[in-house]
Amino acid sequence: MSTGEDRAPVTEAPSPPEPEAAPVAAPAAHATAPAAPPPPRTDGVVIPDFADDARAVASFESARERFERAESQSAEDEIRMGFKKRRDALQIEVATAESLIAARQAKWEKALETYGKRYPKSIEKGKARKPGFMQNLMSFGNAGRMYQATLDASADLNEARSLRRRKEHEDEEIETQQRRALAKLEETLKGHANSKETQDKFLSRPGNAALAKRVQEIRAERTAYAARLEAGKVPPLEHRDRHFTQLDAAPLEAPFAGVAIVGVEAYGELCYLIFRDREKKHFYRPYDSRLEGLSDSVFDVYRIADRFEAKFHKREGKPMNLSDHLTEYLRDDERAKSDARRIRAQLREPRTPKVQETDKSLMDLLAELAKNAGRFNSV
């Protein structure tokens, strides 16, 4: 496949503004003559069905994506279930701690109440005060024992509260641990995606083995072809037909709308102009140097009665240029401008291609349109 090198466009002095030229009409005698398709090959080479191959590869990739998503979801569900069990167990422990707190709270309040009834002056702001020496002595140590009971009950209550706080903290920590486990799972699955165990499991699913074999054959064929092309062992006709089939390109025939020249391809002595319309469909015609003037144009050919006429394609009332067409196709303004420069440079390169027998009425019509292109193209 020929690839023209970028070079700066030739700058020409702009012409004074003129009204748009009248549509160019094709001679009536040749208005309906169809473009001649490339002659059939007789070398027995089979051109792949690229559309069917693309569907097979897409089906394979879709099946693998579904499998990986299912495996990921299954592993994620397992992790979440494990942490849910731990969380449920902790909730039970927290509930147990709550019950223990309630019981010990009641025990401490009871001890405090009992001590307060017997020694009311030893209770201050809901807290027990240590009895004095004489008070303890006169009660034969009972005051001290009752006071110690309030201390023990208070210590037990604080221990239960501390237990509950630890369990609540563990519950919060589980959330962090789960997030870390899920993040680690993603890396683990990536590491095992190409393992034999994972591949065998994927291929064991119904239909996946056949799809994998088909995709392997497609990739092997593409690799073999690329090697032959690199070694210069691909006949020009095979190269041409394979490329046109891959593009799903058809001969350019009138009528059409919103078409631009998007490349020049050479296959041995044969050379073709590649066209594309705004619906992203590709077309071809044998190279014609007269169309260089359309290198920055988008154009239409339409029927009027028994003839075809050509005009420059407009969008929102303004003629489109090649950069506009490429931006619409690529959705990238800078890349579109770069590609437009490359395409214009390709069309300026001198060529002496082999003359091919084909109907020339359409090319004559476009050549007439090309003569007026400089008035409307940006320099």
Asked if 116 and 132 touch (Cβ cutoff 8 Å), the reply is no
Of 38-42, 137-141, 200-204, the range with the lowest mean pLDDT is 38-42
227 part of a folded domain: no
Within this chain, do residues 141 and 172 fall inside the same structural domain, yes or no? yes
Q: What is the pLDDT of residues 210-254, one digit of tens each?
A: 999 999 999 999 999 999 999 999 999 999 999 999 999 999 999
Q: What is the pLDDT of residues 62-86, one digit of tens each?
A: 998 898 888 888 888 888 898 888 8
Within this chain, do residues 328 and 263 fall inside the same structural domain, yes or no? yes
If you search the block for the tokens 């499991």, which residue do you land on? 201
Within this chain, do residues 195 and 266 fall inside the same structural domain, yes or no? no
Within this chain, do residues 288 and 356 fall inside the same structural domain, yes or no? yes
pLDDT at 142 > cutoff 90: no
Within this chain, do residues 308 and 357 fall inside the same structural domain, yes or no? yes
363 part of a folded domain: yes
Find the Cα–Cα–Cα–Cα dihedral 75, 79, 81, 84, rounded to 10°. Answer: -160
Within this chain, do residues 41 and 78 fall inside the same structural domain, yes or no? no
Within this chain, do residues 194 and 253 fall inside the same structural domain, yes or no? no
Share of the chain above pLDDT 70, in %: 85
Query: What is the phi/psi pair of residue 306, to 5°?
Result: -105, 20
pLDDT at 10 > cutoff 90: no
Closest Cα partner for 285 from 341, 367, 340, 348? 367
User: Which residues face 127 on adjacent strands?
Assistant: 124
- Confidence (pLDDT) at 88: 87
Q: What is the pLDDT of residues 43-55, one digit of tens each?
A: 577 899 999 999 9
Within this chain, do residues 188 and 274 fall inside the same structural domain, yes or no? no
For the residues 161-174, what does the mean pLDDT come to? 84
Within this chain, do residues 140 and 64 fall inside the same structural domain, yes or no? yes
Q: What is the pLDDT of residues 317-371, one digit of tens each?
A: 899 999 999 999 999 999 999 999 999 999 999 888 888 877 789 999 999 999 9
225 part of a folded domain: no
Q: What is the pLDDT of residues 182-219, one digit of tens each?
A: 888 877 777 677 778 888 888 898 999 999 999 999 99
Q: Which range marks the domain in which residue 184 is found?
A: 60-202
243 part of a folded domain: no
Q: What is the pLDDT of residues 259-297, one digit of tens each?
A: 999 999 999 999 999 999 999 999 999 999 999 999 999
276 part of a folded domain: yes
Confidence bin at 22 (pLDDT 50/70/90): low
Asked if 38 and 241 touch (Cβ cutoff 8 Å), the reply is yes
Q: What is the 3-state secondary structure (H, E, C) of the chain?
A: CCCCCCCCCCCCCCCCCCCCCCCEECCHHHCCCCCCCCCCCCCCCCCCCHHHHHHHHHHHHHHHHHHHHHHHHHHHHHHHHHHHHHHHHHHHHHHHHHHHHHHHHHHHHHHHHHHHHHCHHHEECCEECCCCHHHHHHCCCHHHHHHHHHHHHHHHHHHHHHHHHHHHHHHHHHHHHHHHHHHHHHHHHHHHCCCHHHHHHHHCCCCHHHHHHHHHHHHHHHHHHHHHHHCCCCCHHHHHHHHHHHHCCEECCCCEEEEEEEEEEEECCEEEEEEECCCCCEEEEECCHHHHHHCCEEEEEEEECCEEEEEECEECCEECEHHHHHHHHHCCHHHHHHHHHHHHHHHHCCCCCCCCCCCCHHHHHHHHHHHCHHHCCCC
119 vs 364, residue with greater confidence: 364
- Confidence (pLDDT) at 375: 55
Domains contained in the chain, number: 2
Within this chain, do residues 150 and 35 fall inside the same structural domain, yes or no? no
Confidence bin at 300 (pLDDT 50/70/90): very high
Q: Can the peptide bond before residue 255 be classed as cis, meaning omega within 30 degrees of 0?
A: yes
pLDDT at 181 > cutoff 90: no
Share of the chain above pLDDT 90, in %: 43
125 part of a folded domain: yes
For the residues 159-187, what does the mean pLDDT come to? 83
30 vs 303, residue with greater confidence: 303
- Confidence (pLDDT) at 358: 79
172 part of a folded domain: yes
2 part of a folded domain: no
Within this chain, do residues 37 and 111 fall inside the same structural domain, yes or no? no
pLDDT at 313 > cutoff 90: yes
Within this chain, do residues 166 and 275 fall inside the same structural domain, yes or no? no
Strand 123-124 to 127-128 pairing: antiparallel
Among 173, 202, 231, the domain boundary falls at: 202
Confidence bin at 28 (pLDDT 50/70/90): very low
For the residues 108-130, what does the mean pLDDT come to? 76
Does the pTM exceed 0.75? Answer: no
For the residues 107-136, what does the mean pLDDT come to? 76
- Confidence (pLDDT) at 13: 36
